[in-house]
Amino acid sequence: MTTPKLHQAAMNLPLASPLPYPLFQRLRDAWIVGRRDGQKKAAHDVTGSEQPSASLRGLDAELTARCEWERLEAIRIASPLIDEHREHLTVITMLNRQIIEANAEIDARSVTDPSEYDRVPKSEAHLTPAQRKERRDREARNAIAPLIARRDASDAQVKTRELQAAEIAGMLVTLFEALQTRVTTLANHYERRAANQIRSYLRRAPGDAEHPLNRRAAFSPPEWACEPNPWLPAEGGQR
């Protein structure tokens, strides 16, 4: 089974804690970028989620690129775990099918034909009917013993693989939740920068409720960060 090192590595990636917003960058956003784009003519009407100024579109592009980098890096770490988890599920499905088939054969071969009890070969002529019945039942048990052993071995393998699959699934859940936290941290950071810039923009147009900046969409994590974990089977899927 894959060691937890990949799982631990994910927790050491950048953005495990909030991003710093140093004073120099805050002043630059407010007094250089903000004042430069402060004129209303430098902004345009909002269309969908598009940002209304060049500097905000730049922040949006940076956020998108950073989130995509985080996603690709997380996929790089998760990929061997995803493959191993799928392999366990595939083998578990195959073993369960074999167990069902073995149980059906065991049940069928466990029933002794009544005519077998009436069969009296010369070597058993000295036995009583009860003794012959006991011998036939013992012969039937011996015949299906290998089937039972194989079924029990398959059942043990299923339990082992289910445990391993559950452990890997837990790792994948933690990895994806860590990824969601990172891109949320990024979105909050860029929203903070955008709000700082916008304050400078709007100082140049006080009280202008129709300014495009007042109608912009806030920065948010990408849509995939709000969806179910794509690395694990959906509810009702393969188990």
102-144 pLDDT, tens per residue? 999 888 877 666 665 556 666 665 667 667 666 666 777 777 8
CB within 8 A of 30, min separation 6: which ones?
Answer: 196, 197, 199, 200
Q: What is the pLDDT of residues 140-199, one digit of tens each?
A: 777 788 888 999 999 999 999 999 999 999 989 988 988 998 899 899 989 988 888 787
What's the confidence (pLDDT) of residue 199?
78
| H helices present in the chain, as ranges | 5-11, 23-28, 34-36, 54-110, 114-118, 129-203
Portion of the chain with pLDDT greater than 70, in percent:
65
Angstrom distance (rounded) from CA 208 to CA 210: 5
What's the confidence (pLDDT) of residue 239?
39
Asked whether the predicted pLDDT for residue 97 surpasses 90, the reply is: yes
Asked whether the predicted pLDDT for residue 16 surpasses 90, the reply is: no
> Average pLDDT, whole number, for the chain?
77
Asked whether the predicted pLDDT for residue 78 surpasses 80, the reply is: yes
What's the confidence (pLDDT) of residue 208?
62
Residue 150, class by beta-carbon neighbours within 10 Å (0-12 exposed, 13-18 middle, 19+ buried)?
middle
Give me Rg for the CA atoms of the chain.
34
The Cβ-side half-sphere exposure at 193, using a 13 Å CA radius, reads: 26
The mean pLDDT value for 50-73 works out to 86
Residues in the chain: 239
User: In terms of pLDDT, which residue wins out, 112 or 232?
Assistant: 232
Kindly state the tokens that stand for 214. 């007042």
Give backbone dihedrals phi and psi of 53, rounded to 5 degrees, phi first: -140, 160
What's the confidence (pLDDT) of residue 35?
59
User: In terms of pLDDT, which residue wins out, 99 or 146?
Assistant: 99
Q: What is the pLDDT of residues 41-59, one digit of tens each?
A: 555 555 666 777 778 888 8
What's the confidence (pLDDT) of residue 28?
72
pTM over 0.85: no
